[in-house]
Structure 1
Amino acid sequence: MPETTAASGKTPEPGSPYDHVIVGGGAAGSVLAARLSEDPGCRVLLLEAGPPDTDPRIQQPHGLFAGLLRGELDWSYDTVPQEQLGGRRVPLSAGKVLGGGGSINYQVWFRGHRLDYDGWAAGGMRGWGWDDVLPAFRRSEDHELGVSDLHGTGGPVPVTTPKDVSPLSLAFITAGVENGLALNRDFNGAELDGAGLVYSNIRDGERFSASRAYLHPAMDRPNLDVLTEAQVVRVLLEGTRATGVEYRRGGSTERVHADSVVLCAGAVRTPQLLMLSGIGPADHLSDVGMDVVHDLPGVGSGLQDHPAAVVSWPVTRGETWLDALSESNQTLYDRQRRGPLASVGQASAFLRVTPGAPAPDVSAMPMLIDLLGESVPGFSCMVTVLAPRSRGTVRLASTDPVDPPLVDPRYYEDPADLELVVGGLRRALDICGSPVMDAFIGSPSFPPATDDAALRESVRTSTVSFNHPAGTCRAGDDQDAVVDEFLRVHGIRGLRVADASVMPSLPRGNIHAPTIMIGERAAELMRTA
C-alpha cells in the first residue's frame, strides 16, 4: 500500500510530515484548515471526499432547488424506518463537496440562544458557554448591522438580509405580529422570540459557504494542501495514538501521516470513521466483525436532529419559488444578482408553546413552495421542535466504508417532542389564518383536519428532516462523552473531532453558524492545548 506525505499538486519538502490532517472540507473543516494555516510554520492537509465547489448551481442561492439536494453533491442518506412515522424512511442530506452542507443548504444564519451554550458548559463542555463562544461568532462575521457587543465585521462570512423580499414572506411576518409575536429585527440579537427576516450567508446575491469564505482565500498558502475526491476510510493508529489516515482516490488507496488528525466529516460520517477505525462501542463493533481498538461507548450515540412537520396551503396570489425559476428572473439574476433567485430563506418565527419555557421551543419557517405536492403553486410552513429530547444512533451497516451507515434519529420517540410540534402546528395555522395572509393563500391543503388526532397523524405523514444531525461524538467529561472540552477524543492521543457531532444538544436554530463557530474555537484551542 503506497505511503505519501504529499497529497496535492503542491510539492512539500521530501519526507516532511503534516502537522495536521483535517478530514472533511465542510463548514468546520474549511474554517480549521484556513485558521491553522495562518501559521506559516504549520503544515496542513485537508481531505474532502467530494469534488471542488465549482458547480455553478452552488453560487446561486436558489440553486438548491435545481438539483443540489439529493444530487451528486449530496451524500443522500436515508434514515432507517422510523417507528413514530409509520415506518417511513426520511431523507437526510449532507454535502459531499468542498463547503459541505454549506454548499447545498438553505443558507440561513442562526446562532441559537445563549441558554443553548450555557447548557453545554453546565453539562461538562467547559469553556463553551455563551460568553466563551460569542467572540468566535463575532470573529467569523461580516455583519451588515456593523460592530456591536453581539456582532462583528471584517470576518470571512457575510451576514445579510435579503434585498428583494417576497410579499408572501412579509405577509407571514405581519401575520405573526398580528398573532401576538414580537417583531424581531435580529434573530442573532439579544432575543430569539418573535417573527422577522432571517440573516443569511449571502453577499451581492451569491452564496458564501465556509469554503468560499475561509478556504479559497487561503488556497495559495504554501503550507496548505487541499485534496478533493479523497474519501478517508479509517484513522491510522499505533496503539492508542493516531498517526494519520487512509483514504481512497481514483481507484487507489493511499496513506498520509501527521502529528494530529482532526475529523470534521459531520455527525454521520465522523462516528462512522471512528468505528471503522476500531474506536467505538465494543459490543457493536464486535457484532459487525470490526476489531476493537478502543472501547468508547458514546461513539454514534446521542444522535439529534430537527424534524419538521409541514402545513401547506394553495397560493392564490404572488410568486412562489417555482415561479422564481422563470427566464425573466434568471436574466435579472444574471445581470444584477437581484430578484427572487438571489435569496431563499427570508422569514421565520420563534415561539414558546410550553407555558413558562425559558426560551423559544418551536420554530415556524415559511417556504414559498408546497413541500408535500398537494397544491401547485403552494406555500408551506415547516414547524420544528428546537430542543428535541429524542435521541438516536449512527451505527455501521458493515465494515465496508462504502456502505452508508445506519442512521436512526428516532424522531418523536420522546412523547414531549410530538406534543410540542402539534402545539407548533396549531400556532402556524393560527398565524397563516390571519387576514393579511388571505390575500395570498387559500384554506390549508394539508392537514385535512385540525383536531388533536388529525394533527398527530399529519406529523407522522409529513415530517421531514431539517438536515441538522448532531451529537454523535458528544463533548463532555462523563463516561459516555467522546471528546473533552478541547475536542480531544477520550483515550486516543493525536485525534480530535470538530464538527456538529460534538454538540451535547442542538442549538435552537439551523446549525451552519454554530458549526463554523466550532471550527473557529477548535483552531483557537489547538493553538493552546
Structure 2
Amino acid sequence: MQQEYDYIVVGGGSAGCVLASRLTEDPNISVCLIEAGGQGDSWTVNIPAACVLSLPTKINNWAFETVPQAGLNGRKGYQPRGKCLGGSSAINAMIYIRGHRADYDAWAAMGNTGWSYDEVLPYFIKSENNERIHNEYHGQHGPLSVADMRSDSPIHERYIAAAQEQGYKVLDDFNGAEQEGLGIFQVTHINGERCSAARAYLFPHLQRPNLTVLTNAMTQKIIIEQKTAVGVEVQHAGQHKALYARKEVLLSAGAMQSPQILMLSGIGHEDELKQYGIEIKHHLPGVGKNFHDHPDFIFGYTVKETEGTFGISLSGSLDMVKQIKRYRKERRGMITSNFAECGGFIKTKPDLDMPNLQLHFVLALVDDHARKFHASHGLSCHVCLLNPRSRGSIQLSGSKVSDPLKIDPNFLGDPQDLEDLVQGFKLTRQLMASPSLAALYKQDLFTAEVQSDDDIRNLLRARVDTVYHPVGSCKMGIDDMAVVDPQLRVYGIHNLRVIDASIMPAVVNGNTNAPVIMIAEKAADMIRNSLDVQQVA
C-alpha cells in the first residue's frame, strides 16, 4: 500500500466523503480517506426504514454513552453516531434541513469571516439536487439527492390539519425564504433509497486512481513534527501503519472523535493531557470544550387504527407484506419512510426573531431511541430546543483511542434551557391534542398525568435526551477558546484542519447533516484556493 499522499482525510462520514470526492477531481492530487467502520453500502443503509435497526444497536453505529447528566437526574444519555462510509448520514433520518439564515450571520459576527448566510448559501446549492423545488435557494446539479417523501402516508393530511387547527403556517420548504411553520420534510432520498454522503459523493468515484479508501481502519493519532502535521498512525488489517501527508491532514471524525484524536496527538489543554502521559505538541485549551447538542423530549401515543403507522399486529404484518412488495416494485410506500416524516419550526414566544423549537413527528411509537420495545402501533412527536445555552465537553479517559470518551453535553445545565423546553412541551402537547390527531389515539403513554409546570420539569429531567445533533467541540473562531480559524486551520499546528460538525461555534437551527456537507464543500474550495496561492507564490 502507498504510504504517502497529498491529503489524508481522517473519517469517512459526511464531511470526509465530500472532501475525498472534491479534492480528487484534480487528477494531480492524491487523497487517502480513512474510515474506522465498514463500506456503508448494505441494505441496512440503503433501505430507509431499516434505520430502525441501526439506531438502537451497533450496526454501523458507535453507540456512545454520555457521562451521567446532572440536569437529567444523573441519567446517562445515548449518542448514536455513524460508523461506516457515509457516517451518520448512513443511519440518520435523512431530513434535509440547513438551519436559519441568522445562524450563519451569527457565526460571521463572531469574527468568522466568510461564513455569513449569503456566503455559505452557494455551497448548499452546489451540493444539492432537489427534485421538486427550483428557485434561488436550491440546486439541481449537486451530488446530494433531495426529494419529497414517498411513503404516501395518510397521516400526513392529519398532521397538516392539526397544524392549521393550531394556527400554524404550513410550509413546503423549510430551506427557503422562511423557516417558521409546520409541514412535511424533504429527505436525502434517491428513487426511494437513502442517499448518504457516501452514495452521493464517494461511491461514484471509487475508481479514481488518485483516491485510496481504507475501511475498518482506526486512526490512532496525528503525527506532528515541529508544529506541523505530517501524517497519521493507523491500525489497519491487523497492522500498525504510518501514512504521510505531503500537504495536509484533514480531520473529519465528528464532534466526539475529532477532539479525541487531537488530544491523543498532543493538542489540547496541557494539564488535561499530562494526566494521561500524552506528550504536549501544542497547548490549545478549547479542544473538547463548547460541546453541545439539542435537548429533546418525545411524546408517545398508541393508536386505534394501524394504517399508516409502524408496529406489530396481525393487520400491520399483513400490510407490511404488501408494503415490501410495493417497495420492490415501485420504490414507494412505508419502506421508504424515515419515520420522522413531518415536523417543522415554531417559537416559544411570538416576539422571538426566529424559531427556537423543532418538531419531528414520527409514524411509530418511540421510547428511549427505539431501545425500549413497544409492539403497539403508535405515533410520537419530538420537541427539541434549538438554541441551548448549556455547554459541555469531550474529555479523554486514557492515552489510547480505545479508552472510552467522557462525553458530556451538559443537557439542561443552564436553567433557562429547562424553562424554554417547558414552554415547548406545552405547545407540542397542544398540537398533539388537536382534533385531527387526537381522534387517532388510544393511550397517551408518557404525559397523561402531567398537569403543573413542576410536573413538566420533572418529566423533562426524567426523559430528555439527544436528537442527534452534537457539535462545537473544536469550535471555529478568533477568541482564546477557538480551535480552528475561519479557514478551519488548527491554531498552532501547520497543515492540519478540522472539517466537520465540531467546528460549529453554535449549533444551527435544525438537523446538522446538510450543514456539515456545506462546511466540507466550502473547505474543499478553501484548500484549493490555498494551493493556488502557494503555486503563484
Aligned to 1:528: 529
Aligned to 2:413: 413
Aligned to 1:384: 384
2:339 pairs with 1:338: no
Q: CA deviation at 1:514?
A: 0.3
Q: Note if contact 1:247-1:255 (Cα within 8 Å) is conserved in structure 2.
A: yes
Q: 1:44 to 1:290 in 2, by over 3 A?
A: same
Q: Note if contact 1:261-1:495 (Cα within 8 Å) is conserved in structure 2.
A: yes
1:23-172 maps to which residues of 2 (within 5 A)? 23-67=10-54, 69-172=56-159
Aligned to 1:293: 281
| 2: CA distance, partners of 1:450 / 1:375 | 28
Q: CA deviation at 1:289?
A: 2.3
Q: TM-score, normalised by structure 1?
A: 0.95
2:259 pairs with 1:271: yes
Letter of the aligned partner of 2:326 in structure 1?
A: L
Letter of the aligned partner of 1:366 in structure 2?
A: F
Q: CA deviation at 1:478?
A: 0.8
Q: Note if contact 1:168-1:440 (Cα within 8 Å) is conserved in structure 2.
A: no
Deviation per CA, 1:152-192: give whole Å up to 9, x if none.
Answer: 10110111111233222331222112101101110011111
Q: CA deviation at 1:327?
A: 2.3
Aligned to 1:366: 361
Aligned to 2:503: 502
Q: Note if contact 1:306-1:465 (Cα within 8 Å) is conserved in structure 2.
A: yes
Q: 1:445 to 1:146 in 2, by over 3 A?
A: closer
Letter of the aligned partner of 1:364 in structure 2?
A: L
| 2: CA distance, partners of 1:250 / 1:279 | 27
Q: Note if contact 1:192-1:360 (Cα within 8 Å) is conserved in structure 2.
A: yes
2:452 pairs with 1:463: no
Q: Note if contact 1:313-1:375 (Cα within 8 Å) is conserved in structure 2.
A: no
Q: 1:288 to 1:173 in 2, by over 3 A?
A: farther
Deviation per CA, 1:68-99: give whole Å up to 9, x if none.
Answer: 54223111100000011111111101111000
Q: CA deviation at 1:467?
A: 1.4
Q: CA deviation at 1:378?
A: 2.1
2:397 pairs with 1:397: yes
| 2: CA distance, partners of 1:150 / 1:420 | 31
Aligned to 1:453: 454
Deviation per CA, 1:336-389: give whole Å up to 9, x if none.
Answer: 211111121321021110342110001121112222367822211111001111
2:466 pairs with 1:488: no
Letter of the aligned partner of 1:331 in structure 2?
A: K
Letter of the aligned partner of 2:425 in structure 1?
A: L
Deviation per CA, 1:467-518: give whole Å up to 9, x if none.
Answer: 1110000001111100001000000000000000000111111100000001
| 2: CA distance, partners of 1:460 / 1:375 | 26
Which has the larger displacement, 348-357 or 322-331? 322-331
SS at match of 2:175: coil
SS at match of 1:482: coil
Which has the larger displacement, 396-405 or 132-141? 396-405
| 2: CA distance, partners of 1:126 / 1:450 | 48
Q: Note if contact 2:132-2:148 (Cα within 8 Å) is conserved in structure 1.
A: no
Which has the larger displacement, 459-468 or 440-449? 440-449
Q: Note if contact 1:370-1:379 (Cα within 8 Å) is conserved in structure 2.
A: yes
| 1: CA distance, partners of 2:58 / 2:493 | 36
Aligned to 1:422: 422
SS at match of 1:80: strand
| 2: CA distance, partners of 1:106 / 1:194 | 20
Q: TM-score, normalised by structure 2?
A: 0.94
| 2: CA distance, partners of 1:424 / 1:68 | 25
Letter of the aligned partner of 2:32 in structure 1?
A: L
Aligned to 1:349: 344
Letter of the aligned partner of 2:431 in structure 1?
A: I
2:190 to 181, 203, 213: 203
Letter of the aligned partner of 2:12 in structure 1?
A: G
Residues paired across the two proteins, number: 516
SS at match of 1:90: strand
| 2: CA distance, partners of 1:321 / 1:307 | 25
Aligned to 2:294: 306
Q: CA deviation at 1:306?
A: 1.2
Q: Note if contact 1:108-1:200 (Cα within 8 Å) is conserved in structure 2.
A: yes
1:181-260 maps to which residues of 2 (within 5 A)? 181-258=168-245, 259-260=247-248
SS at match of 2:67: coil
Letter of the aligned partner of 2:53 in structure 1?
A: A
Q: CA deviation at 1:251?
A: 2.1
Which has the larger displacement, 510-519 or 372-381? 372-381
Deviation per CA, 1:39-64: give whole Å up to 9, x if none.
Answer: 11111110101011132110000011
SS at match of 2:424: helix
| 1: CA distance, partners of 2:164 / 2:377 | 25
Q: Note if contact 2:40-2:60 (Cα within 8 Å) is conserved in structure 1.
A: no
| 2: CA distance, partners of 1:21 / 1:398 | 25
Q: Note if contact 1:301-1:473 (Cα within 8 Å) is conserved in structure 2.
A: yes
2:161 pairs with 1:174: yes
SS at match of 1:291: coil
Structure 1 residue runs of 4+, over 4 Å off? none
Which has the larger displacement, 161-170 or 59-68? 161-170
SS at match of 1:81: strand
Letter of the aligned partner of 2:497 in structure 1?
A: R
SS at match of 1:161: coil
Q: CA deviation at 1:66?
A: 2.5
Q: 1:414 to 1:122 in 2, by over 3 A?
A: same
Q: Note if contact 1:475-1:484 (Cα within 8 Å) is conserved in structure 2.
A: yes
| 2: CA distance, partners of 1:402 / 1:444 | 42
Q: Note if contact 1:271-1:394 (Cα within 8 Å) is conserved in structure 2.
A: yes
Aligned to 2:308: 319
Deviation per CA, 1:80-121: give whole Å up to 9, x if none.
Answer: 000111111111011110000000111100001000000011
- The alignment-based identity, stated in percent, is 39
Deviation per CA, 1:318-345: give whole Å up to 9, x if none.
Answer: 3322357722222221222111111213
SS at match of 1:472: coil
SS at match of 2:381: strand
Q: Note if contact 2:389-2:414 (Cα within 8 Å) is conserved in structure 1.
A: yes
2:250 to 248, 258, 262: 262
| 1: CA distance, partners of 2:68 / 2:375 | 27
Q: Note if contact 1:310-1:459 (Cα within 8 Å) is conserved in structure 2.
A: no
SS at match of 1:66: helix
Q: Note if contact 2:152-2:332 (Cα within 8 Å) is conserved in structure 1.
A: no
Letter of the aligned partner of 2:199 in structure 1?
A: R
Q: CA deviation at 1:443?
A: 4.9
Letter of the aligned partner of 2:308 in structure 1?
A: E
Q: Which runs of 5+ in 1 are unaligned?
A: 7-16
Q: Note if contact 1:78-1:92 (Cα within 8 Å) is conserved in structure 2.
A: yes
Letter of the aligned partner of 2:480 in structure 1?
A: Q
SS at match of 1:142: strand
Query: RMSD across aligned C-alpha pairs, in angstroms?
Result: 1.4
